[in-house]
A and B are shown apart, each in its own frame.
Chain A
């Protein structure tokens, strides 16, 4: 074993003291357990400082910012097409979905409307990124609860969707395909037929997960009644997506405010669950994945012909104004508040990310739960660190 010098010893002691100072809100009694930032369960570099009394949590304080990339500052020095490249990486699993609200906000300011074919394809890719994202959640929540096998199936079947997205956009994870006024390119030949096959496979996967994970008694014992979020508390904290729909709130931005995307041309259903616990969040996401495959099937049948890009100037100068557009992204509701002063670059972009709000309920939610339940609850809330930290 190597010798520790005095200086290193002092640094170590100082680091311990600094660590203790982090928790200004929490009293110093009980055991402090640091979950993360390097931890198999947190989806990225999240750190939760939990004060424990035996196996029960007295207080839990998430410490974020390990992945803070300063998006809102960066958007102030990038042109609108360059911003699209940047925001792909906010929620890196729901790749295409990040671009859409920003592009829609810019189109609203420019008073440009994308042609119907572009809106159709945008919706298809949007739903496919939702499927890709949530399929991973279905396997991932099983792993957090202890079943190690379903996640392999999730990754395997997710590859089909990523292959399709790559065929259209050229990128599996960061497509950078949306443009103000439409899309970069049209669909390749044979893509529609292939995607229909892929949707069948995804439905088979959903059925598999339903019996393997959701029907498992141990999974149900671990998730039913755990982490119940009452609807009014969820609304106060700004929860969105499946998290709030699992508490019985019937709100889906796709249905209520589609902003030009093709959801009103399709026959589909919004899934809610009255319980509000971890199991219901899993259940709602499973149903939503199936529903997304059906939406994609219907859209594939009815794609209109036409151009995929409207007439926009080569150099995009967005007129002065402010616009806010939010869409129902895989993780929840994502919105961009774009303030423009008539320049090439936005003046200020406020990124309303779903996971930030979803995570903000965790200090309230994690009080009094057992340590294993911390993991189950965080898994069921389903956040992506890039989305929280931006």
Chain B
């Protein structure tokens, strides 16, 4: 009886949509929360020789819950001259771009949201919507600091979209497809010089592209050393200055959610996604549907560790130095990587 109900769900469009929406929400928000606790509250605190929040829950694990409660009960402040619609819509636009990006990430052989042949580029294109959101936040705040922050962010994000995308081209050439699921299978089934013990994670052959992707990811997330838009010591909070209460929390969660989702994309592209060389498990085993998401979360945690470690250590670049790095260094490097990959692919 139950199995027949479940079987019918397989083809029902609305049930599947509901499941995916719920899965997306839960997945993104849970991961964001975990990252906030692990990295922001604990890792950074230990690096700065302090303990971090310890009061709410054992070892401060429920701190984020407390923060949510705190932000919910705050006054919803609108600056007087703010454009109300633009001001209110901005955090939602940014969050929307995050959820749209997570849609292309597969978490298992059958655990995916969409399986699309332009997968990765669809995702990256949709994630650029966040630029709009930041600009809306900067403009709608009716505050010169926010405007400055919004403009800086726009320039930075547009500049770093290119290295991001060009770095991915190398992976696509090697995998032969833009479909994320195919990229995972290509890494799982691939071999390194004839040895297929650990498959072929593209971080080995596309190491340069991986580094470029990580740098561009850091810039897309406006984390230090690329956090000019939110340069705390100059612009107070840049485009986030005028937001308070729940709206600020949306920005805050959005920042960590986007970090998690970008890390998921990076781990799919370069680290093998939901697959790992576990001895005894074949690629088409059903256990991957349970194990896959867990492995993916583990890889997300590792990559975001690096992102936040760099964020809390380095000073920030000035805007022109930042642009110079993108246009004069990263893009030529990514283009060279593409050429080399293409040569290798054709002749080897």
Contacts and interface: CB of A to CB of B under 8 A. Distances in A.
Nearest to A144: B233
Instruction: Select the residue from B145, B232, B318, B320 with max chain A CB neighbours within 10 A.
Output: B318
Contacts of A371: 148, 234
Given A40-B236, A146-B224, A149-B313, A370 B231 contact: no
Interface in B215-260: 224-225, 227-228, 231-234, 236
Contact of A372 (B50, B80, B144, B228): B228
Contact of A375 (B148, B233, B314): B233
Nearest to B77: A1
A219 interface: yes
B4 interface: no
B318 A372 contact: yes
B83 interface: no
A213 B144 CA distance: 31
A221 B321 CA distance: 8
B50 A152 contact: yes
Nearest to A371: B234
Contacts of B319: 55, 370, 372
Interface residues of B, number: 28
Given A146-B224, A371-B234, A372-B231, A219 B49 contact: no
B48 interface: yes
A378 to B, nearest CB: 10
B140 to A, nearest CB: 15
A146 B49 contact: no
A152 B48 contact: yes
A231 interface: no
A147 B313 contact: yes
Interface string A365-382: 000001111110000000
Contact of B318 (A39, A147, A216, A222): A222
Instruction: Select the residue from A4, A147, A216 with max chain B CB neighbours within 10 A.
Output: A147
Contact of A33 (B47, B144, B312, B313): B144
A142 interface: yes
A153 B47 CA distance: 10
Contacts of A370: 318-320
A375 B234 contact: yes
B71 interface: no
A60 B22 CA distance: 53
A85 B231 CA distance: 39
B302 to A, nearest CB: 21
Nearest to B224: A146
A41 B314 contact: no
Contacts of B37: none
A156 B51 CA distance: 13
Interface string B292-336: 000000000000000000001111111111000000000000000
Interface string B45-58: 00111100000000
Interface in A214-241: 216, 218-219, 221-222
A153 B314 contact: no
B78 interface: yes
A55 B322 CA distance: 14
B321 A146 contact: no
A74 interface: no
Contact of A218 (B50, B78, B225, B231): B225
Nearest to A376: B318
A149 B319 CA distance: 22
B315 A216 contact: yes
A145 B320 contact: no
Contacts of A22: none
A41 B319 CA distance: 18
Given A41-B233, A372-B234, A146 B78 contact: no
Given A1-B78, A33-B144, A221-B321, A147 B315 contact: yes
Interface string A145-177: 111110011001000000000000000000000
Contacts of A142: 315
B341 to A, nearest CB: 29
Contacts of A4: 80
A70 to B, nearest CB: 30
B246 to A, nearest CB: 16
Nearest to B324: A221
B232 A40 contact: yes
Nearest to A1: B78
Nearest to B48: A152
A268 to B, nearest CB: 31
A149 B47 contact: yes
A152 B44 CA distance: 11
A149 B48 contact: yes
Contacts of A147: 224, 312-316
A39 B236 contact: yes
B229 to A, nearest CB: 12
Contacts of A146: 224-225, 227, 231, 233, 314-316
A138 B49 CA distance: 17
Interface of A: 1, 4, 31, 33, 35, 39-41, 55, 142-149, 152-153, 156, 212-213, 216, 218-219, 221-222, 370-375
Given A216-B314, A221-B318, A222-B316, 13 more contacts: A39-B236, A40-B233, A144-B233, A145-B315, A146-B314, A147-B315, A148-B48, A149-B47, A212-B313, A218-B314, A370-B320, A372-B319, A374-B234
22 contacts: A33-B144, A33-B145, A39-B236, A41-B233, A143-B233, A145-B233, A145-B316, A146-B225, A146-B316, A147-B313, A147-B315, A149-B313, A152-B49, A218-B225, A218-B314, A218-B315, A218-B317, A221-B318, A221-B321, A222-B317, A222-B318, A222-B321
